[in-house]
Amino acid sequence: MFGRRRGYRRGYGGGGGGLGMVLLAMQLLHLFQFLSNSNDYYPVTLGVLGLNLLAFFQPGRSWPSIHQACISVRGAWFNREWKRIFLASFYHSSDFHLYYNMASFVWKAISLESYYGSGYFMYMVAVFSVATNLLYIAINYALAEVMDQWSYINSCAVGFSGVLFALKVVTTHIQPAGMTRVMGFIPVPMRIACWVELVLISVLFPHVSFIGHLAGILIGFAFVYGPLQTIMNIPLSLLTDFVPSHTAGGGTQYADGHSYTYRSGTTGRRGAEQQQRNHPPPQPSARPYHSYTYAAGPLGRGDGEGSEEAELQEAIRRSLSTDSSGESRRTEERENGTQSTVDEGLREERTP
């Protein structure tokens, strides 16, 4: 998420000269290669990616400008421009900004959509995008009051990285405890990686929105440890498309230990039970350390770029596996000297 206290600043020092678009096109080629070898199409992942691309290229003339979409206390609260709450997450300040956020989102989203199912993952992204922006407004307003610094009122931010930080919290909570690498080379415990990345990004790139990223982390923790997931599940209990299942192996396992089975045809994909039996979600190899990559801005070459190809190939290899007994996975774990503590959950996914 991009932001600056005094109004809005565009880009990481500029639009990137089109290089961001070239890198994004390469990522899309990797994605299409993966999908061509997969039996699933991940409609929510592709839909969110497409929405961000549409907001950036703005075909037609009816799109709000980036200045009309960025989230701020003045714009959204004082001026009652509520559309900013819904738009800001999907706007980006430059092609590099778009590239790094989408590169981080796509591969993470594929794993989460496989794990939660398309319906709930779409619901999660929608709630996180709105909740992150609301919390961003609240924090800025509180800081303006407490510190008597009214520049917080004018701070205007755009970008999907606040949602990405929320998704990272959920992802690391689902996975077994272990180590990861922030920016590709700093080993830290997985559970605190988001905090380390929050600080490092803010130090290396002071023009990014620290408060926007912090809001995303807090929303992620509210989902995992707080009341947010319970509140989100209330309306689902009224829908027949989400059938509660508390059996150990049935349905889609949620972070709170419960599971839901998506009925076939609801999302245009196979049911979660069939998917998990016959088509395990794409996962990188079970190494003790993994690459932890981009968030809201360019972290430079070498921040996971080298591991991206390897993890993609591993995801493709796993997506082609249809051995429901899981014997191949157990054999690989024995060869790598690791042992899985979760049979049908997510493993580390850090490619973008």
Q: Are strands 179-182 and 156-158 parallel, antiparallel or unpaired?
A: unpaired
Q: Is residue 213 annotated as part of the catalytic site, yes or no?
A: yes
SS (H, E, C) 104-153: HHHHHHHHHHHHHCHHHHHHHHHHHHHHHHHHHHHHHHHHHHHHCCCHHH
Q: How many Cβ atoms sit within 10 Å of the Cβ of residue 217?
A: 20
Question: Which amino acid is it at 72?
Answer: S
Give dist(CA 225, CA 247) in Å, integer: 22
Which residues sit opposite 157 in a β-bridge?
Answer: 3, 71
Residue 266 phi/psi, 5° resolution? -65, -40
Q: CB within 8 A of 243, min separation 6: which ones?
A: 251, 260, 261, 263
Q: Is residue 246 annotated as part of the catalytic site, yes or no?
A: no
Q: How many Cβ atoms sit within 10 Å of the Cβ of residue 234?
A: 8
Unique residue bearing structure tokens 């905090």: 195
Give dist(CA 342, CA 347) in Å, integer: 9
Annotated active-site residue in 38, 94, 129, 161: 161
Residue 188 phi/psi, 5° resolution? -145, 155
Annotated active-site residue in 213, 285, 307, 319: 213
Q: Annotated active-site positions, please?
A: 161, 213
